[in-house]
Amino acid sequence: MAEQLTDDVKNILGLQLPTDPRWVNLAEMQLEDILTDHAYCEQKAATTCITLITKNSEKERVVEELSPIVTEEWGHFRMVLAELNKRGLKLGRQRKDIYVNKLIAFQKRDGGPDERFLDQMLIMALIEARSCERFKRLSEGLTDDYMRKFYRRFMESEAGHYTLFINLAEHYLDKKVVRKRWAEWRAYEVDLMKTEEIRGDRIH
């Protein structure tokens, strides 16, 4: 029987399907790979926010609220890089993010500016929510106490990021439209998670 997400996690992260518990065990056996992938995830989060600011520079609230996220995510990249260095591990090559690419494939291509902006916000919300859920898994399931605490800090720091993107969407667009599309995104992600290969060398 599939494990269920608690109501608290559903309310906090908006997710419908939990990560397979076996993922933590695989990740622990591939620590150099998971740290490398984590570092690149933080880097991509920072650069994506920069891109969103650039593409939506007329939206003052987007600029104001995403600017500190850029700083935070880049700081997280440096923290993971420092952990790799401390352990004598190498920052490996960036790999293709199959999970994110499949989310991108769900974005509307034929809509207007509002539809494109909405999907940009919601895909970021979903990536942030799933990343945070994975950090929670690591903070509870790793055998190394230091690494559990290491990932708990990331989980706590990033727990509210997904709501930031939803709130930005609702600031500029009708709330009912946002919530309807968010439900579609969550349903799509459930199907994606059911078919995704369980690999310990990646955060997603």
Dist CA 120 CA 200 (whole Å): 27
Give CA–CA dist 80/30, Å, rounded. 15
Residue 10 has pLDDT above 60, yes or no: no
pTM attached to this predicted model: 0.91
Range with the poorest average pLDDT among 5-19, 57-71, 186-200: 5-19
pLDDT of residue 6: 45
CA 98 to CA 87: how far, in whole Å?
28
Orientation angle between helical segments 175-195 and 113-141, nearest 10 degrees? 50
Tell me the pLDDT tens digit for each residue of 87-114. Answer: 999 998 988 889 999 999 999 888 899 9
pLDDT band at 5 (very low <50, low <70, confident <90, very high): very low
Is 90 exceeded by the pLDDT of residue 15?
A: no
Query: What gap in Å lies between CA 61 and CA 58, rounded to an integer?
Result: 9
Burial 131-143 (b: 16+ CB within 10 A, else e): bbbbbbbbbebbe
Contact 65, 113 (CB under 8 A): no
Q: Report residue 202 as tokens.
A: 């990646």
Domain coordinates in residue numbering, the chain: 28-195
Tell which CATH architecture fits domain 28-195. Answer: Up-down Bundle (1.20)
Contact call for residues 199 and 22 (beta carbons, < 8 A): no
Percent of the chain with pLDDT over 70: 94
> Which pLDDT score is estimated for 2?
38
Neighbours of 69 (CB within 10 A): 22
- Per DSSP, the three-state class of 158 is helix
- What is the overall mean pLDDT for the chain? 91
Q: pLDDT per residue over 128-171, tens digit each? A: 999 999 999 999 999 999 999 999 999 988 888 888 999 999 99
Q: With contact defined as beta carbons under 8 Å apart, do 116 and 135 qualify?
A: no
